[in-house]
Amino acid sequence: MRSALLLTSLLLLAILPFADSVTADDLDENSGVTMDASFDNSTEMTTLSIRMPVTNDASLLDDLKEGVFKIQRRAAEFHYHNSLLEDEPGPCGYYQGNDSGATYGCWIPSNESIDTVAENLQFCTPQMSNSECSGAVFEISYYPSSTYSEILYTLSVQEGDSYLTWSNGEGSEPLEELITAISAVENLSASYSNGVTDLTWDYPPNIGMNHSIMIYSHSEPATRANWNSMPKTILSSSIPAGTTSYQINFSDQSVEREIYYSVTLLYEMSEDTRFIGSNTLSQPIIEDNIAPIFIGELEATFSQETSNTVVTWQSGLDDADTSINIYRHEYGLDKIDTNQYLGTVDHTQTSFEIAIPIGEHRRTSYAITLQDSQGNEILDLTEASPVSEPIIESTIGVSTVSELAADRSVDGTVTLSWKDYTNNPNAVAKIWRSVIGPINALQNVEELSTLNVSAQQYSHTPINPADEAWYAITIEAAWGSQQQPWHDETLILGLNSLQSSIQESEQILELPENTINAYVSTLSGFRSNLTDGDIITIGSLYEGDIVFISTSKVVQNITCQGISGFGTSVSATSDWLLTFDANQSGERCIGVIIDNDEQIGFTLTWNFIESPICENGATRPADDGCNTCVCDSGGWSCTEIACPLDDDNQGNNDSSEIKNKADSKEDSKTTAATVILTVVILALIIYLLIMVRTPEYSEEE
């Protein structure tokens, strides 16, 4: 059916539509409101003239100001009234009959074929004064859309729950509207989806096909009055007659607009642009293939306590036409998988919570997109897209190996061992090696091999053994409902990553050459090692005690300075032992042991006690180093102690050994002197015997 466009042309004031209906309780047929209609055959336009009554009745004028009107166009039908009775009421009022049986009648509006010209009209407004409303005239221009030849226009105002109606045809002939045949398609409709707009229409019956089809787009509704002056775009002018659809594809361009479409028939000499049918859209269609873009950071956090992950982003959006979609995402991919859709939240929200099922152990990223009311959404990701860093969501017990240890065999084989508590029989262990430090990340490390975690042991022989090497094990497996294998790079020092290094190279023990071991001891049993810088207090020494400074090998020099005061010293050269009596006035030794480039400096101090006599006059017993003696009121009491062990832990008394060595040294000196003296004496005796022998002389004659 053809739709008509209302052209409002008010001579005095514009018609104002009301959102809420207001009743005018005091209006009736005698209110004085009139309406006249006229039709122009050349323009095929009807002009309606509505006149307010000329009155100073303030109450009536107030009702007119509150009245909400509508205008309808109806086909007129003649009502016949044949009656001989006087004053018999009928639809046309009271008629007088006559004896000849004359027929009376009138034109009345039909209850069928009704076109609404305008509604929710208010002629006089509350803002108008009574003088402005009284006698005011309003005109409306209207292009009829149907071809009825006798027409009545009605003006109605709401009166309580019903309408009070005036007709331009009461007491007069109906209006004849002669409209030429319309050449236009009908029932034009449009739909938009996924970047494509589809237009469809119908052909009226019995229309010739001697034309082509024109498609227009325009940003405002098309009317007969504004068509020639309105900006519009011709989309096509050569669509064949009889075609009932047209498609507009925006896949190669971006579009975001509200638009109207019109379809006309183009004949060789004319184009019907009256738009009195349904060949133009009365409401715009929204074409939009531009998706909204989210700009901002996205963060995902998993809570071990609640087993929930919370995805958060910046503050909510201002666009109420937009919603936010949340997806799980495999990190590194450049497109969102719509099968991983989790939910949608309102544009004002800033977070979304996901419950992680029991038994899951997964590495997950999250992504969000914006979607408008047209379904536009960007699924292709860029560096600026809101994608969270991967997080591990775990609701299982153990996901790594434990108690990782390493051991090296004599042949150089390094064996790793671990405990498997994962309860994942298909888990694969990845073996990693580092020579630069403990492995807490998988950068700058060497991957050695993969094997089943349940093996709990791995051996290999390093090609280039290092003095320090570290090992770690990570797991690749599938957990939970997804059953998608992934590499868990979790590294925990002391658990699945060695905290201390292992020496892969052969261990060679290098003993220091010509290292001097030095000792200090006393005849009374004191003993201590001597190292460079030592300051040692020996304690109390008694008369007859001897101090021994010995070395583990013969050295160039052993010297004690200040032993009997400033400037005094004792020394032994090319020897392993220096001995001296404890009763030195200095009671100290600033010592040095020198052998080539090695030197040991030390300081010894002691307290010498001259007379070891008890209160009862008893003399301190001789001390062999294997007892300790204490002077008390009862005299000297001695207690056996363990003799100090020598360097070989054989239980020999160091002091005794050193004393024996010293005695042996003195005995050796004495023996040598005796031998030399004996040899000298024998030589002298032989010499004397030779010298005192009487010479024998021969006789000469």
The CATH code of the domain that includes 319 is: 2.60.40.10
Read off the pLDDT of residues 115-151 as tens digits, 9 standing for 90 and up: 888 888 889 999 999 999 999 999 998 888 766 778 8
Going by pLDDT thresholds of 50, 70 and 90, the confidence category of residue 609 is confident
pTM to 2 decimal places: 0.48
Q: Is residue 672 part of a domain?
A: no
| Spatial separation of the C-alpha atoms in residues 578 and 665, rounded to whole Å | 12
Q: Share the mean pLDDT of the chain.
A: 80
For residues 427 and 550, state if they share a domain.
no
**Between these two residues, 223 and 629, which has the higher pLDDT value?**
223
The structure tokens 């053809």 sit at 2
pLDDT tens-digit readout, 249-272: 998 899 999 999 999 999 888 888
Q: Are residues 455 and 529 in the same domain?
A: no
CA 292 – CA 295 distance, rounded (Å): 10
| Residue 11 belongs to a domain | yes
**pLDDT, position 103:** 56
**74-83, 610-619, 644-653: range with highest mean pLDDT:** 74-83
Give mean pLDDT, residues 361-372.
91
Best-predicted range by mean pLDDT (263-277, 328-342, 611-625): 328-342
In this model, does residue 48 exceed pLDDT 50? Answer: yes
434 lies in the same domain as 378 = no
What pLDDT, on the 0 to 100 scale, is given for residue 262? 96
Average pLDDT rounded to a whole number, residues 299-306: 93
Q: Are residues 388 and 413 in the same domain?
A: no
For residue 695, the model assigns a pLDDT of 46
Residue 312 φ/ψ, nearest 5 degrees: -125, 150
Asked whether residue 93 is assigned to any structural domain, the reply reads: yes
Do the domain assignments include residue 293?
Answer: no
640 pLDDT above the threshold of 70 = no
The answer to whether residue 146 is domain-embedded is yes
Flag whether 198 is in a domain. Answer: yes
pLDDT of res. 622: 55
Q: Is residue 77 part of a domain?
A: yes
Same domain, yes or no, for 341 and 208? no
Q: If pLDDT is split at 50, 70 and 90, which confidence band does 201 have?
A: very high
**CA–CA separation, 393 vs 371, rounded Å?**
28
Domain boundary among 141, 157, 176: 176
Q: What is the DSSP secondary structure assignment for residue 266, as one 8-state letter?
A: E
Q: Which amino acid is at 132?
A: E
* pLDDT above 90: residue 202: yes
Look at 194-208, 277-291, 459-473, 609-623 and tell me which has the smallest mean pLDDT.
609-623
User: Quick one: 40 and 106 in the same domain?
Assistant: yes
Sign (positive/negative) of CA torsion 151, 157, 159, 161? Answer: positive
| 19 and 160 assigned to the same domain | yes
Predicted local distance difference test score (pLDDT) of residue 567: 86
Number of continuous H segments (helices) and E segments (strands) in the chain: 3, 41
Decide: 355 and 349 in contact? Cβ < 8 Å.
no
Residue 42 — very low, low, confident or very high, per pLDDT cuts 50/70/90? Answer: confident
Q: How many domains does the chain have?
A: 5
pLDDT higher than 70, residue 1: no
Contact call for residues 579 and 523 (beta carbons, < 8 A): no
Asked if residue 74 and residue 28 are part of one domain, the reply reads yes
- 137, 154: one domain: yes
Lowest mean pLDDT among 272-281, 306-315, 517-526, 657-666: 657-666
Last residue of a domain, one of 468, 488, 508: 488
Among 117-121, 181-185, 254-258, 275-279, name the one with the lowest average pLDDT: 275-279
For the chain, percent of residues with pLDDT exceeding 90: 40
Q: Of all helices (H) and strands (E), which one includes residue 680? A: helix 654-692
Name the band, by pLDDT with cuts 50, 70 and 90, for residue 44.
confident
Give per-residue pLDDT as tens, 642-660. Answer: 554 444 443 344 445 544 5
Q: Is 34 found in the same domain as 167?
A: yes
Query: Do 338 and 409 belong to one domain?
Result: no
The one-character DSSP state at 660 is H
Q: What is the predicted pLDDT for the residue at 242?
A: 92
CA angle 532, 533, 535 (to 5 degrees): 125
Nearest to 392 by CA among 308, 302, 310, 311: 302
Q: How far apart are CA 191 and CA 123, in angstroms?
A: 38
When pLDDT is averaged across residues 182-186 and rounded to a whole number, the result is: 86
Stretch (H or E) spanning 110: strand 104-121
Residue 574 to residue 561: CA distance in whole angstroms:
18
SS3 427: coil
User: What average pLDDT does the segment 213-219 reach?
Assistant: 95
Same domain, 16 and 154: yes
* CATH code assigned at 605: 2.60.40
Residue 436: inside a domain? yes
Note the pLDDT tens digit of each residue in 574-597.
888 999 988 888 889 999 999 988
Q: Give pLDDT, residue 7.
A: 34
**Predicted pLDDT at 307:** 93
- Nearest CA among 216, 206, 225, 201 for reference residue 266: 216
Q: Quick one: average pLDDT of 418-447? A: 93
Range of lowest pLDDT (211-215, 316-320, 453-457, 634-638): 634-638
Task: For residue 571, give its domain range.
Answer: 518-610+642-659
Last residue of a domain, one of 378, 394, 410: 394
CA distance 644 to 279: 124
